[in-house]
Structure 1
Amino acid sequence: MVLCVNLRPAVAGLPPIFTQLQDRLALSSVDVTLLATIPVLCFGLFSPVAALTARRFGEERALGGALAAGAAGLLMRALLPGALLLAGTVVVSGAIAFMNVLLPSLIKRREPRRAGRLLSLYMVMLYTGAITSSAIVVPVYRSTHGSLAVTLGMSAVPMVVALLAWLPQLRYGTARRAASLPPGASQRLPRGHVRRHRLAWQVTAFMGLQSMTYYATLSFLPDLFLSRGLAPSQSGLVGSLLSVGGLVSAFGTPMIAHRSARAARLLMIATVVLCAAGISAALLAPVNAGLALMPLLGLGQGAGLALALYFVMARAATPAVAASLSALAQGVGYVVAALGPLAVGSLHALTGGWRAPVLVLLLATAAELVVGLLAARPHQVPAPGPAARYVAGEDGGRPTP
């Protein structure tokens, strides 16, 4: 749980102070777009590396290394923001990519019968970190008289705490990992095994599309509301309200989806409706009303992320397949997601308004519904050969022939 709380502060804590960073560090609009895009792009590029590292050293040790690297990246951009803001963001984003990929397969391997409950707790802590960072970053900046060292460096504290709490897990290595697998389930898969299955690409497409809309709105909704007259002191509220809504839906979504495929499909429809309504309200509703409706968008986004992570576990026949599916879904999915902030920022710069960016996000949400309903079907990416079925899904995670 203390590891999960570090999955978003490094990303969610930047958009509310984009304007201050521009003024203090002489950043251009291109630099700001890069700051919004780099984390998501790194999530995609580092995901395959995470899976390879875990195969060599074990998931627990790979996650310990990621926590150490994440703390280093946060300190880099805090101590030398003028020179290392972008580089530090790359380092910490790569570390978070490791955590994104390896935590779902870790849950499936070590606690398959409690996967829905643990994934719910995972999501609660993820959103707790996002809410806290986006809510306090502007007050901290002002109370420290514009100290970038404190404002950017405070995210390193929970990362170091998580590293210390994780140290006992380092004794779990590849040998224990192999012993934890069910009979016949190898921890190594033939190259390209997961990529040969259509279901894997449906899960990947859903991960990419829901992430694309999430990061695009997280990065640019504060600017949209500011352009419509919101007070600068309230810009941090946008991300916090999104995260509050996400916290509510993320907690229950995996447990409900765990019950049946029908429940997962109904959740999928509700997710898309809420996202479309929230994105539209940000542009069309009066400013205060639109701000008040942001928890609805957060509800949809939280449910979408929870479903994407749930599909990674439930649509994999073994923990080894789950690790490979997680790497594919997040590797390709987050590269697709990186197009969201880039497209929104470019369209806004080109048109000078927000109608075109919002239309693109609504189209992405519609596509999310199509691939999400396909991924919600109760099928699995199988393990090669006569491996046992080892599911953190509708059958409760029981190994069966």
Structure 2
Amino acid sequence: MKQVAYARYFQRRFVWILITLSAFVLLAGSLRGTITALPPIIEEIQRDLGLSSAEAGLVTSIPVFCFGFFTPFTALILRRIRLNRAVCLGLLIVILGAVLRSLGMTWSLFVGTCVIGIGTTCSNLVVTMLIGRDFRHRAGIMTAVYSTMIDLMIAASTAFSFPLVAYVGWRGAAGVWGVGPALIALVACLAIYPLNRPGIRPFFAQKAGWTIHTDDSVVTAGPAKASEIYRWPMAWLMAFAFAVNTFCYFGVAAWLPKILADMLEMGPNDAGFAASIYHIVGVAAPLSMMAVQKMIRAQTSTILTLVSLSWLLMPIGMLLLPGGWALWSACGGLGQGAFFSITFTLVIERTTNMAQTRTLSALVQSIGYGFGALGPWVLGRMYDMTANWLWPFILLTVLTGSLVVISQIVARSTSTPQPQ
């Protein structure tokens, strides 16, 4: 009888854990679909609003530039408001931007897209802070879940935004992907994260068997200063590594279909389908590498070596043996997906309080996304100047090769930010 009672107890507890986690999962899932729903329907928007190719390209680039530019300012704002309120603030800004973007006017398209970028910038920081507050001892798995949800929503919005145009037009499709995920996440977050107190709502925390945090600083040993992070060499190495990964990710994602079409003479449809391998493997990479690490009980430095080498294999393979494009695309997908997850796991694990987590995350994201946004432009410019993909792949080889070295330094270091 006791065994049956225990089994029922743990079954009920597991259900409540899933319910409590739903807010975090939905929040993570709302961070990219709003943005990545636009590129597949950009031609429809161009025709309707009479945009030039340069203007259309700017629409798709604005959110990433917002990530880089507004992250430091967002971090300052988050110092002054309760984390639970920041969760809802970011989602409300995204919803406002999505509504503006869907009005169907040129000015509202650009303003709405910028507002979406600002709201998503806020949520990017909030997610890492939530992991640091509520799941610090499970940072690896929760960061993997966060990364996986981002990639899943990128894949879903990319695949299904264009078919929606036939039924509701581009404004409806942009509205569905812009308002829908953020609104659902907002409802869940209001239920789980009370606005008037820190931490998860006590009812859900008790049902899930979790500790109720009564302070947003969690494990803080005292007030932290931003200079603690800026004076820490590992912070800048993490930022550089994330910047390189982001640059390579955006660059390859933007040009891989054309690369396959040019090098292997694929048709546009075949090249687009073939390039999806890069994204599909990226979806599975974070949780897969987490499972591998648990199975073989590997150190983080070992996993980072595998991930970095996998990234490095892609440009080298495409240069030397382009016929193996499927394998090289999978290697690139594994590298970019897992590296993103591991980077933010290290951000959370190497900091000791919420202030440090916020500051380090802001530093990594502002530099990373600011530099990463240049990836498609730089690779495209190199291609225009040389009329082939040799030099773009050489640049990718140098950059991903640097990740192998830098990731080892960061992973093997045991230093932490030192108070002044």
- Report which stretch shifted further, 299-308 or 349-358: 349-358
Alignment of 1:108 with 2:163, yes or no, is no
CA 1:226–1:274 in structure 2 vs 1: closer, same or farther (change >3 Å)? same
SS in 2 for 1:301: helix
Q: Provide the TM-score with structure 2 as the length reference.
A: 0.80
Find the counterpart in structure 1 of residue 286 from structure 2.
Answer: 250
Following the alignment from structure 2 to structure 1, what is the Cα–Cα distance between the partners of residues 273 and 378? 24
The equivalent position to 1:300 in structure 2, one of 330, 335, 355, is 335
CA 1:260–1:329 in structure 2 vs 1: closer, same or farther (change >3 Å)? farther
CA 1:20–1:235 in structure 2 vs 1: closer, same or farther (change >3 Å)? farther
Following the alignment from structure 1 to structure 2, what is the Cα–Cα distance between the partners of residues 167 and 360? 46
- The letter for the 2-side match of 1:242 is Y
Conservation of the 8 A alpha-carbon contact between 2:82 and 2:216? no
CA 1:231–1:58 in structure 2 vs 1: closer, same or farther (change >3 Å)? farther
Find the counterpart in structure 2 of residue 136 from structure 1.
Answer: 160
Find the counterpart in structure 2 of residue 369 from structure 1.
Answer: 404
Counterpart mapping for 1:209-220 below 5 A = 209-220=244-255
- 1:344: how far off? 2.0
Find the counterpart in structure 2 of residue 152 from structure 1.
Answer: 174
Alignment of 1:265 with 2:289, yes or no, is no
Following the alignment from structure 2 to structure 1, what is the Cα–Cα distance between the partners of residues 395 and 96? 36
- 1:122: how far off? 1.6
In structure 1, stretches of 5+ residues that fail to align are 386-401
In structure 2, stretches of 5+ residues that fail to align are 1-24, 200-212
Following the alignment from structure 2 to structure 1, what is the Cα–Cα distance between the partners of residues 59 and 148? 25
Conservation of the 8 A alpha-carbon contact between 2:226 and 2:359? no
Alignment of 1:277 with 2:313, yes or no, is yes
- 1:32: how far off? 4.5
The equivalent position to 2:368 in structure 1, one of 333, 343, 356, is 333
CA 1:299–1:183 in structure 2 vs 1: closer, same or farther (change >3 Å)? closer
- 1:213: how far off? 0.9
CA 1:75–1:236 in structure 2 vs 1: closer, same or farther (change >3 Å)? farther
- Report which stretch shifted further, 68-77 or 345-354: 345-354
CA 1:132–1:160 in structure 2 vs 1: closer, same or farther (change >3 Å)? same
Conservation of the 8 A alpha-carbon contact between 1:134 and 1:240? no
Conservation of the 8 A alpha-carbon contact between 2:44 and 2:170? no
Q: Deviations over 1:166-217 (max 9, x none)?
A: 113452557667725457623x422422100101111111111111111122
SS in 2 for 1:345: helix
Conservation of the 8 A alpha-carbon contact between 1:16 and 1:235? no
Conservation of the 8 A alpha-carbon contact between 1:79 and 1:149? yes
Q: Once the two structures are aligned, what percentage of the paired residues are identical?
A: 26
Following the alignment from structure 1 to structure 2, what is the Cα–Cα distance between the partners of residues 233 and 312? 39
The equivalent position to 2:188 in structure 1, one of 165, 168, 188, is 165
RMSD between aligned residues: 3.1
SS in 2 for 1:192: helix
SS in 1 for 2:373: helix
- Alignment: residue pair count: 381
- 1:18: how far off? 4.7
